[in-house]
Amino acid sequence: MSYFEMIVVVCPLIFLSSFVDSIAGGGGLISLPAYMITGIPVHSAFGCNKFSASIGTFISTLRYYKNGKINVKSAAVSAILSLAGAAIGSKINLLISTMLLKQICIFLIPAVAVIVLFGGNKLHLREQLLEGPMLYVTCGLIGFFVGMYDGLIGPGTGTFFILAYTSLIGFDYVTASGNAKVANLASNVSSLMVYLFAGKVYFALAVPATLCSILGGWIGSGMAIRNGAPFIKLVLVLVLIGIVLKLIWDMYL
């Protein structure tokens, strides 16, 4: 695939992935395959994905924060632990061969998708909001383990954060989305540093794609803030359905 063809294919898909991710997470289900179909090395696809995702998520996070839709203290705890988890996951990723990494994606993502699909099936908030030490301990654990998954594989991370914050913490969907952006930003940046030092980012492709990621994140986060929980839940359901359909496509078609 020529460079021009790469840009034509990747940039619109990165815009779409950032738009979806800023609302309900799951943008990696679009962006990672978008980079992989260009034919660049698999580890470079992961590196480019983290580059564009980091900046796109930053724009979304900033918009949620300016609108007061982030529980700052709990988000900070998740972010700190997410940094550590993502760094561990990314280092493991770089130690895995390209073929093995593809095989892991084929088997791990379907398993995680089933958990997410059934875990989010009820789509209801925890009856009582966690408070005090339990709030911060739970946020820390969510940040670490989801962050580790983000560093190792990635797709669906934002969705996992939202589902965890609503079902385990009791945050409403808008706050859960805002906190998810903070934690996901931390994991993205942590992973990106690992890939940058390993020389796994193809800047000629990642930079123009990032501009599309910024635009998608800005538009999507604004729609989520304006339309609230019903809109976020609708997109969340669509993302979960998309996970299943994509996995069926990858495995059987």
CB 224 within 8 A of CB 216: no
pLDDT in tens, the chain (253 residues): 788 889 998 999 899 888 887 777 777 777 887 888 888 888 999 999 999 989 888 988 998 898 888 999 999 999 999 999 999 999 998 988 877 776 776 676 566 556 555 555 444 556 677 888 999 999 999 999 999 998 988 877 888 898 889 888 988 888 998 999 999 999 999 999 999 999 999 999 999 999 998 998 888 888 877 776 566 666 656 665 665 566 566 555 5
Q: Cβ neighbours of residue 76 under 8 Å, at least 6 residues apart? A: 182
The pTM for the full model equals 0.77
State whether the Cα torsion 230-82-22-248 is positive or negative.
negative
How many domains, in total, are found in the chain?
Answer: 1
Residue 229 lies in domain: 3-252
Is residue 102 classed as helix, strand or coil in its secondary structure? helix
Instruction: Please report how many Cα atoms fall inside a 13 Å half-sphere around the Cα of residue 30, on the Cβ side.
Output: 25
Tokens 């379907």 appear where?
Answer: 110
Alpha carbon distance 129, 247 (integer Å):
34
Which two tokens mark 86? Answer: 């993502």
CA dihedral defined by 210, 211, 214, 219, rounded to 10 degrees?
Answer: -130
Q: How far apart are CA 236 and CA 231, in angstroms?
A: 8
pLDDT at residue 117, as a whole number = 53
Tokens 């289900």 belong to which residue? 29
